[in-house]
Amino acid sequence: MEPNASTPATLPLAGIRVVEFTHMVMGPTCGMVLADLGAEVIKVEPIDGDRTRHLLGAGAGFFPMFNRNKKSIGIDLRSPRGLEVAIRLASSADVVAQNFKPGVMAKYGLDYAALSRLNGRLVYVNHTGFLPGPYEHRTALDEVVQMMGGLAYMTGRPGDPLRAGSSVNDIMGGMFGAIGAMAALMQRAQTGRGQEVDSALFENNVFLVGQHMMQYAVTGQPAAPMPERISSWAVYDVFSVKDGGQIFLAAVSDAQWQAFCDALGFADLKADPLLATNNDRVRARPTLMPVLRERLAAHTADALAAIFERHGLPFAPIRRPEELFDDPHLQATGSLAEVALPDGERAGATARVTLLPLRMDGERLPVRSSPPRLGEHTAELLAGLGYSPAQAQALRTAAAVA
């Protein structure tokens, strides 16, 4: 696809080379963040391709979502000739990122200890299940750490732990890996030396539930699962309304409560001295909420949204992910960009992908290239490493690269 008007040279990480030995979501997210920021990110895949290219169901979006703006080379690390290519490629990098089980990269001489001897300026990012400690050799998944790290307990109803509806730890773990990589690059600019960075799913999950841990530390009361929590605000709920609709409505200050009552004609509630302050209303929730649910049920979700928007009150329609493609705000702010799908029955078709949720100098970070086909950049990368066309062909013939 054609590059965006913002060229790589204008982006913050232009000139930085990243080589990633990653799969699934966590490691690829780190590479995607660095790629979106302008780095040259090279994805090293098995010669039969990253298996996320062909996942079904909930995994079908993994590869096209997290691998844009990257180059692909297929390498058989079990082949001595392929491994030589991988080591030469990794040695040429500013950053290497990986998310394999402990010991896998060391087996191939692609760990930090080995590569840093070849390139002392290398920043090496490990994406793991756990930081070094008693759990470090366990196999971790997003769902595993959500269960053991309190997030599933907080998301589900009592007795029914439920994972969050997105790969939150994988994605955030990759983001923290990218933050660590960028911090290490800044430090390298001062010291001239690289370093090893570790980002872990379990510790990321614990960071996410840290607010609930601190709630216990401050109050002495365990945090209740979110569906059963004691809300800090009286009006902070999903309401079922007319024609089967649903909408989230909130009034989180005394001024908002008064505006809420004025907007909906609830003069009696506004004047009730037992509802004068937020804490009064929180204490009155057992009697207040049934009244509000009955009264609000007479309105449609669209009518309530219009009222709340007009009065500057917090509200949210209940949307499904597929409905967001048509969201007018996302369209107006350039939050979605087209990519060509690289694999599967729809290979070559275009789809809109979500961009990083930030602007730099007033611009969104662009999609410069679609998720790559397996080995799409192998010839270019081998030439850059000094392999002649004949040598590159010999590597392909030997199935050392793809």
User: Residue ranges of the domains in the chain?
Assistant: 8-209+333-397, 231-320
Torsion of CA 207, 211, 217, 220, to 10 degrees: -130
Return the number of other C-beta atoms located less than 10 Å from residue 47's C-beta. 20
| Predicted local confidence at residue 345, as pLDDT | 84
- Tell me the three state secondary structure of residue 266: coil
The CATH class of the 231-320 domain is: alpha beta
Distance CA 173, CA 126 (A): 10
Distance CA 385, CA 85 (A): 8
Alpha helices in 192-250 (DSSP H): 201-208, 210-219
Architecture of domain 8-209+333-397: 3-Layer(aba) Sandwich (3.40)
Same fold, 8-209+333-397 and 231-320: no
| Predicted local confidence at residue 10, as pLDDT | 85
| Predicted local confidence at residue 8, as pLDDT | 58
| Predicted local confidence at residue 231, as pLDDT | 78
Q: Which helix (H) or strand (E) holds 144?
A: helix 142-148
Annotated catalytic sites, by residue? 170
Distance CA 164, CA 100 (A): 24
Please state, in angstroms and as integers, the Cα–Cα distance from residue 294 to each residue in 307, 315, 359, following that order: 17, 18, 43
Task: Please give the average pLDDT of every successive group of 10 residues along the chain, which has 402 residues.
Answer: 51 97 97 98 97 93 97 98 98 97 96 98 98 94 97 95 96 98 98 98 98 96 87 90 95 96 97 96 94 97 97 96 96 96 91 96 95 97 97 97 98
